[in-house]
């Protein structure tokens, strides 16, 4: 089912287009765009003073531009603002960004011609995706520098992503596709660069990964609790009822279902010395559940921002008005992304603590040191924990809220900015490192479950263990563990571990 720009656009639609779904631009969106364009053309013909149309930009807003220079001004803003630097956004992130900007223009409040939206949709459907460096945005007036880089290929300049992901000049690619560069008219260059679609694209895709990560974190926690001879008492339904937090309750139910029927758990039930577990076992549902609550807030915020008109000035066709405001400011996204990063640090941190406990014979209730025989000769999973600890520490650094910072720009005209793109990039990076930490916990927990034989794990944790064993063999002696970590990391990212567990436990929350 194609995704329609200018209509109701969900977060799942954005993810689908990022992965290659077809896009269409149809009535009544086309008519809304035409109506807004008529307002702009009347304003130019009447010689009205309109920011960014008959004036300069930013601190140059008081500089009057001759109407005959209005079109040239629009090309100049795209060129001059395309100053983004650093690594390129991934193809998926750039596709999401292109979709989101086309969608805002198609909502009918930016004043561009339908031709501009059609070209953006055509580029998506041909997978001719602009190469966009990810650094250089202050988050107000939106993601100016990245959006300008996104817009350059529309006018035959800048770069697009080749089949291998490397940037190649856009002009020759347009020629090969028999697509003429656009000649921008009044307001159109400004409409290409003024919005929050860079941070929003990165944030939506990071949030999609975080949703799978949190389910997987519950699976890894259950595997560790079981392998470490923990108790399932903290996951009694009565605890969830006593603390009516939807996220905590969801993780509580997940872990309880994942542990159901465990012979390992039954083997020490009622033990006089295994009465109360360490926090990393006992509080797993609370910590993971808190992140679930944050994710719910983030998804709600990003859903609203996806349907928001983020531009300046904004055209209101019903009133024949073009008004300057602040709808380009990325503070809502910045705060949401900071919240996501903060919440996921707790998930990664508690996951690493469970991994640590499985490796220490003083804490693991009978497992061999570092989960391998002939310790001393073999180091086993010792350095896996080192790496996990390093990633958690880096996550803590990245979780410093970007949205609390601001720096004045444009000769003082733009005196408060959101740093939303920075917040989104940091949240994405925290998601990536948290995925690896959870993968390392699951990898070690699978080893520990095998070491508990002949006791059998629960059906769901056994299924997750077996999924890992499909790619990673039991560690009987030291080997290079990087391929193992990478393999399980991919299972976390693509949801394989969750799907395996759900085959036995049913749909997880």
440-478: pLDDT as tens digits? 999 999 999 999 999 999 999 999 999 999 999 999 999
Q: Establish whether the linkage from the previous residue to 313 is cis, with ω within 30° of 0.
A: yes
Q: What's the Cα-to-Cα distance from 303 to each of 137, 287, 470, rounded to whole Å? A: 22, 25, 37
Average pLDDT of 315-322? Answer: 95
Average pLDDT of 19-25? Answer: 98
The domains located in the chain, with CATH, are 3-195 (1.10.275.10), 207-403+433-505 (1.20.200.10)
Residue 19, both tokens = 């992965």
Residues 277, 310: Cα–Cα separation, whole Å:
50
pLDDT band for position 410 (50/70/90)? confident
pLDDT at 31 over 70: yes
pLDDT at 59 over 60: no
Average pLDDT of 181-207? Answer: 96
pLDDT tens figures, 324-336: 999 999 999 999 9
Question: Within a 13 Å sphere around the CA of 197, how many CA atoms are in the beta-carbon half?
Answer: 32
Average pLDDT of 292-321? Answer: 97
Residues 209, 224: Cα–Cα separation, whole Å:
22
pLDDT at 71 over 80: no
Least confident stretch, 93-107, 223-237, 271-285, 475-489:
271-285
Taking alpha carbons only, the member of 86, 91, 85, 55 closest to residue 73 is: 55
pLDDT band for position 272 (50/70/90)? low
pLDDT at 47 over 90: no
Share of the chain above pLDDT 70, in %: 97
Handedness of CA 24, 28, 29, 35 (dihedral sign): positive
pLDDT tens figures, 84-105: 999 999 999 999 999 999 999 9
For residues 426 and 398, the answer to whether their CB atoms sit within 8 Å is: yes
Q: Which residues are catalytic?
A: 51
Classify each residue of 33-51 as buried b or exposed e, where b means 16 or more C-beta atoms within 10 Å of its C-beta: bebbbebbeebbeeeeebb
Share of the chain above pLDDT 90, in %: 87
Angle formed at CA 287 by CA 282 and CA 288, multiple of 5 degrees:
105
pLDDT band for position 141 (50/70/90)? confident
Residue 408, both tokens = 């004045």
What pLDDT does residue 62 have? 66
Q: What's the Cα-to-Cα distance from 140 to each of 21, 78, 206, rounded to whole Å? A: 30, 16, 21
pLDDT tens figures, 382-401: 999 999 999 999 999 999 99
pLDDT tens figures, 349-388: 999 999 999 999 999 999 999 999 888 899 999 999 999 9
């Amino acid at each position: 089912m194609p995704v329609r720009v200018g209509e109701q656009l969900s977060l799942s639609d954005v993810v689908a287009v990022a992965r290659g779904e077809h896009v269409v631009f149809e009535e009544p969106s086309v008519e809304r765009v035409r109506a807004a364009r008529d307002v702009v053309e009347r304003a130019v013909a009447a010689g009205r003073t309109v920011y960014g149309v008959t004036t300069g930009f930013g601190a140059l807003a008081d500089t009057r531009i001759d109407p005959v220079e209005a079109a040239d001004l629009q090309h100049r803003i795209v060129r001059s603002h395309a100053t983004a630097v650093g690594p390129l956004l991934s193809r998926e992130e750039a596709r999401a960004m292109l979709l989101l900007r086309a969608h805002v223009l198609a909502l009918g409040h930016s004043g561009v011609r339908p031709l501009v939206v059609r070209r953006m949709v055509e580029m998506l459907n041909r997978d001719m995706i602009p190469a966009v460096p990810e650094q250089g945005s202050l988050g107000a007036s939106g993601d100016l520098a990245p959006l300008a880089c996104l817009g350059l290929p529309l006018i035959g300049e800048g770069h697009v992503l080749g089949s291998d992901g490397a940037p190649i000049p856009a002009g020759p690619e347009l020629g090969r596709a028999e697509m003429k560069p656009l000649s921008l008219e009044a307001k159109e260059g400004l409409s290409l660069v003024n919005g929050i679609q860079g941070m929003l694209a990165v944030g939506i895709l990071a949030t999609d990964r975080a949703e799978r990560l949190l389910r997987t974190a519950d699976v890894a926690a259950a595997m560790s609790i079981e392998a470490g001879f923990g108790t399932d008492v903290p996951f009694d339904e009565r605890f969830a009822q006593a603390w009516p937090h939807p996220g905590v309750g969801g993780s509580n139910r997940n872990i309880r279902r994942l542990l159901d029927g465990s012979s390992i758990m039954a083997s020490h039930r009622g033990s006089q010395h295994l009465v109360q577990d360490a926090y990393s076992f006992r509080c797993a549902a609370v910590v993971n559940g808190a992140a679930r609550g944050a994710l719910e807030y983030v998804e709600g915020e990003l859903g609203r921002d996806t349907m928001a008109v983020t531009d300046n000035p904004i055209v209101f066709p019903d009133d024949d008005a073009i008004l300057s405001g602040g709808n380009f400011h990325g503070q809502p996204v910045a705060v949401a992304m900071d919240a996501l990063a903060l919440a996921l640090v707790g998930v990664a941190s508690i996951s690493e603590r469970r991994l640590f406990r499985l490796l220490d014979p003083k804490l693991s209730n009978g497992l061999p040191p570092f989960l391998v025989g002939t310790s001393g000769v073999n180091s086993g999973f010792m350095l896996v924990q080192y790496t996990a600890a390093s990633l958690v520490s880096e996550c803590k650094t990245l979780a410093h809220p970007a949205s609390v910072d601001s720096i004045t720009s444009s000769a003082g005209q733009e005196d408060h900015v959101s740093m939303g793109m920075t917040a989104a990039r940091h949240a994405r990076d925290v998601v990536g490192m948290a995925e690896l930490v959870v993968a390392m916990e699951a990898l070690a927990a699978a080893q520990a479950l095998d070491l508990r034989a002949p006791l059998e794990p629960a059906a769901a944790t056994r299924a997750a263990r077996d999924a890992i064993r499909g790619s990673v063999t039991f560690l009987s002696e030291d080997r290079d563990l990087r391929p193992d970590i990478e393999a399980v990391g991919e299972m976390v990212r693509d949801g394989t571990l969750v799907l395996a567990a759900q085959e036995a436990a049913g749909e997880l929350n």
